[in-house]
Structure 1
């Protein structure tokens, strides 16, 4: 009996809610058909002339408020034009600075610019002199781009730096960085090059005189700034002489590449190449045309890679046949 009474009460509540909803929908529909004047203060619809008068009165009041606001802004806003007194003060200060600088000693050559190193971890330790090498880049079939100066971290990665400098000069059996191209160029991200075996990123160079290839020495540094040189490490823990030049911090390269040097910045060549290339196209082909490093009192220039030339001739013969 109790459940029946509850069911009857629930049925009455449901019916009442349905009626209230229908009444609400009817009122909304009626207001919509009357023009949507839900919040209107008019108790009755005035004549057309009265409506026009009311609209004009409201417009006049709104214009008056806007004029008062503009008048206050004009009165209380400070002038943006520099006054004569400020110009005179600036001239007195500049004249004093000119007189002071004119009394200083004349320097024909400007001082050496400060190098850009965002992360102090890459600063050379006290008492350690790191060697510097230079790579000249060119667009194949086009003009020269310029020269990149690189500082090598021989105190941290001696074997990796030795492999790099050996290929800069040429290992004596035809392998060298001179004549190789950057096979992957992602603008504003990184470049990859240094494949002295196949020149396409699939080769792996084995250093002469070694029974085992060079593995990852350490992952001392992180890719925390731009302008770093890192050498790729394969899944077999093998270094194949392929290196990257980064144009931004790339922490995703950590524990996969060994950082062994940095580009000496500021460098116009570095700023120029960061916009060149596409991730989906190998053109334009940018290659290393010359290298040099200082050994004692003389400059040692790199030899050209002759194995790539013979490999290219074999490919051409296979295509013709």
Structure 2
């Protein structure tokens, strides 16, 4: 079987995560960058892959289930449409609003054929749990579904895939219910918060301050640090910070009383994110293409902080 996909531009990916593990999912259904926690350490996987794509792929789009880190990739083939729902599953939502989701230690890829029929190319260098035979194309028709599960925690009992997706989405929404920000940049603030919570809770004072500003306080950590676990480094930050500096300039303009200019700059910066609302650190000003450092946590921290500052200045 031919290789299912070739590497995609950075912006053609969404990110899923549970606060301990993360993965980049391409618009072609490929996962080529992933990090999992083992014995308290982060293992970044760049030399293995988990690809689920449509043979003769015609087009695709990605979107998140609202207020979650559950990603849907819809792919169109010559004779049908399939959607792949990807998530690092978490336990059912806690009683307290704002409680961070608790990981189950597994990656679920759940597929449904929406119309027609499709032939799927499935390739995985990982040991995947599934009820299908891998190694050959799989043809499925409208109304059929299938799932693939990658687990590294045997303490959680298995559940039907639909329930796992529903529980995971509900847990994320329970967490985002605590966000108090109300303003014109709500989508960017919420997506930034979900990104930061999904990838890690490292000891970033700036990120913790941004979370406090929108009502997200990790009481289990004394309220002083909204992040724990490993730092995020799928594509290293540090050498390119142009978009983040733009958001910092928004706050500088506000300090000079230039509210209208600051708001216009924020809108222009938001437009450099990909279709999912995820930022890189650097874009090509001529084409708008995200060049590297994707996704960029520090940029999303600055996006939250400057959005809060804009809303306060407009009162």
TM-score band by shorter chain is under 0.3
Larger Rg: 1
Q: Which has the higher contact order (CA 8 A, sep 6+)?
A: 1
TM-score computed with the length of structure 2 as normaliser:
0.25
TM-score computed with the length of structure 1 as normaliser:
0.25
Structure showing the higher helix proportion among its residues: 1
Structure showing the higher strand proportion among its residues: 2
